[in-house]
A and B are shown apart, each in its own frame.
Chain A
Amino acid sequence: MIRVQAEPFDAAAELGRFTDALANSGAVVSFTGVVRARRDAGEVCTLELEHYPGFTAKVIAGIEAEARRRFPLEDCLVIHRFGELAPGEPIVFVATAAEHRRGAFEAADYLMDRLKTEAPFWKREQRPEGAAWIEPREADLRDRARWDEKVS
Chain B
Amino acid sequence: MLKVLFFGRLREAAGTGELALELPAGVADTDALRRWLPRDNLQLREELERLSVRVAVNEVLASPAHPLTGGETVAFMPLVSGG
Interface residues of A (CB under 8 A from B): 33, 50, 52, 54-55, 58, 80, 91-92, 112, 115-124, 133-137, 140
Contacts and interface: CB of A to CB of B under 8 A. Distances in A.
Contact of B81 (A33, A58, A123): A123
B49 to A, nearest CB: 17
B79 A135 contact: yes
Contacts of B23: none
A135 B81 contact: yes
A122 B52 CA distance: 14
B66 interface: no
Interface in B1-58: 5, 7-9, 11, 56
A80 B59 contact: no
B12 to A, nearest CB: 8
The A contact surface, by secondary structure, is mixed
B59 A54 contact: yes
Contacts of B5: 52
Contacts of B82: 115-117, 119, 121, 123, 134, 136-137, 140
Contacts of B8: 50, 122, 124, 133
B3 to A, nearest CB: 13
Contacts of A123: 81-82
Given A122-B7, A133-B8, A52 B83 contact: no
Given A50-B7, A52-B75, A119 B59 contact: no
A149 B74 CA distance: 30
B38 to A, nearest CB: 18
Nearest to B5: A52
B83 to A, nearest CB: 3
B62 to A, nearest CB: 12
